[in-house]
Copies of this chain bind each other. A is one copy, B any other.
Amino acid sequence: MRNIKLVIQYDGTNYSGWQIQPNRRTIQGSLEDALLKITKIQTRVIGAGRTDAKVHALAQVANFKTESAIPAEKFVSALNSVLPPDIRVIEASEEDENFHARFSARGKIYRYYVYSGKYLNVFWRNYVYYYPYPLDLDLMLEAAKFLEGTHDFRGLAAANSSTKNFIRTLKSVELKKEGEKLSLQFIGNGFLYNMVRITVGTLLEIGRKKIKPTVIKEIIETGNRSLAGPTVPAHGLFLVKVLYDDLL
């Protein structure tokens, strides 16, 4: 069996997330439907990250096994010709049999957008979290430093019965302000359920001076989720890249 890797971009607005579910529009389901149309065979597509409803991807990675004779790079135009316009395959390549989109991944880059202007630009409404409050960026940067490194992040994650190991490494947390748009970018070897959205929610409360930057340190040390901020909405979140080389 050939093993095909896809790099996929999607606007998550009108989807119930990556993972296939009956009677729901999902990214995985749409890709499998498209593959069925092209190869005439039902094929499982494995994604690197199971993004939630309304979360977007600039470059999600997936793979599938096939006996189709279609040249790897032809899957780009073939799949795009049958996919809805809010999902695009941007690269396709043939990998060796051991490549697995999820298990082979060494890390991921996520980015979250926050906007604080007088009104929310209509063209950004599905892609940024509108949070019209003054934010002290220095306090947020101070807090972000406590996140970097290898820690037990259970206090910054939502409950997920299947997870037993809460140790993750965040290589960097970068905050960038362009006008009234703020981006928070996280590079890590893995992310717990809702970890980016809870961490952003906590950093925003720090920026608003509701809680102190050292609360991040306390959450990491105690694992106490009740000290953290709220989970910010999914639509501000982007899976930017999946990394297959060593992170550190």
Residues of A within 8 A of B (CB): 9-11, 56, 76, 80, 85-90, 118-123, 125, 127
A interface majority secondary structure: mixed
Q: CB distance B88 to A9 under 8 Å?
A: no
A238 and chain B: residue at smallest CB distance: B123
**Number of identical protomers:** 2
A12 and chain B: residue at smallest CB distance: B122
Q: CB distance B85 to A125 under 8 Å?
A: yes
Q: How far is the CA of A56 from the CA of B123 in the complex (A)?
A: 10
Q: CB distance A119 to B86 under 8 Å?
A: no
Minimum distance in angstroms from A209 CB to a CB of chain B = 24
Q: CB distance A9 to B121 under 8 Å?
A: yes
Minimum distance in angstroms from A64 CB to a CB of chain B = 19
Beyond A11-B123, A76-B119, A88-B120, 20 additional pairs, beta carbon < 8 A: A9-B121, A9-B122, A10-B122, A11-B122, A11-B125, A76-B118, A80-B119, A85-B120, A85-B122, A85-B125, A86-B122, A86-B125, A87-B122, A88-B119, A88-B121, A88-B122, A89-B119, A90-B118, A90-B119, A123-B127
